[in-house]
Structure 1
Amino acid sequence: MKPKLSCLEGAHNVMCGEKEAHQHQNLIPTVKHGGGGIIVWVCFAASGPGRIDVINGKMNSQVYQDILQENLRPSVLQLKLNRRWVMQQDNNSKHRSKSTTEWLHQKKIRHLDRPSHGPDLNPIEMLWHDLKRAIHTKRPKSIAELK
């Protein structure tokens, strides 16, 4: 998920007459390109949330595999999942790349792929919605506050 600072702001309206529209006191500054954001990796199970990882920089297949290497097994232990657990991920290109598919196979991680934009088949979309709502309540003013 990529929460951005600008998505946390509500709509602003200024009521003014036609001749007042462009006066300085009636203008509201805007943030271009979202005002900055972060990339977050999370996992969860019916038993609760697993680890969360904030990614610095851009995400690619190798970064995704590194995140899984560092966080997946500890999350499985933390969540007390049985040996038959199955990892579910959406159809993001980093998740389904050849190198990631091979990595999952080498690590013997059973996984279930889902459509990238199907919230009814992708339960993490509900979690992202809740996280964005929580962020909106806090109204962070910087990337550090967003983290």
Structure 2
Amino acid sequence: MRNKWAESGKTCKFPQSLMIWGCMSGKGMGEMTVITSSINAQVYVEILDTFLIPSIERMFGDGSIIFQDDNASCHRAKSVKTFLQERHIMSMAWPANSPDLNPIENLWWKLKKMVHDKAPTCKADLATAIRQSWRQIDEVYCLSLAESMPQRIQAVIKARGGATKY
């Protein structure tokens, strides 16, 4: 998952912003990286190869997983689908205009709060604060997010596709 990161520091004239990619599962935090280029399918495959694959291997070994991302166009590119298929990674299918049920959105929110509390004042401090905060998120929190998926789906069904608390 990727996230555009914006953070205002107390002494910054302009808000600082970074793009990050990170992953999580019910087993805990996966890898995270700061992205310094624009994202297209080729860059996304490189990110998956460099950060997702080692995270899967560390957390699941040879076990099977279902990979959930957002529906960004670069995530749906043929080269990305081929990459995932070649590595036997099943990608969760969902409609393009569906409610965002991805638990990592809750993780981004928590991470932003943690980083805000560190009050970074420049991009370098922001990157450091993000990395430190990422490492502080524990497995119990990640498991609670993963286990919330049935409730998330039920809430969307009950709301007939409308807004939910998630």
Stretches of structure 2 lacking an aligned partner (at least 5 in a row): 128-166
Q: 1:1-147, aligned counterparts within 5 Å?
A: 1-6=3-8, 31=14, 35-80=15-60, 83-114=63-94, 118-119=99-100, 121-147=101-127
Of structures 1 and 2, the larger Rg is shown by 1
TM-score, L = length of structure 2: 0.65
RMSD of equivalent CA atoms = 2.3
Question: Quick check: which one's helix share is greater?
Answer: 2
CA distance in 2, matches of 1:116, 1:95: 15
Query: How many residues of Structure 1 are paired with residues of Structure 2 in the alignment?
Result: 123
Deviations for 1:99-144, whole angstroms, at most 9, x for unmatched residues?
Answer: 222222233321114457734x211100010011111111111100
* Superposition deviation, residue 81 in structure 1: 5.2
* SS of 1:118 mapped into structure 2: coil
Aligned mates of 1:116, 1:123 — CA distance in 2:
17
Q: Matches of 2:49 and 2:66 in 1, distance apart?
A: 16
* CA distance 1:37–1:79, change in 2 (3 Å): same
* Contact 2:66–2:89 (Cα < 8 Å) also in 1: yes
Amino acid at match of 2:4: K
Q: Which of 1 and 2 has higher RCO (CA within 8 Å, sep 6+)?
A: 2
Q: Pick which of 98-107 and 127-136 moved more.
A: 98-107
One-letter amino acid matched to 1:60: N
The Cα of 1:86 is off from its aligned counterpart by 1.3
| % identical aligned pairs | 33
On the 8 A contact 2:64/2:89 being kept in 1, the answer is no
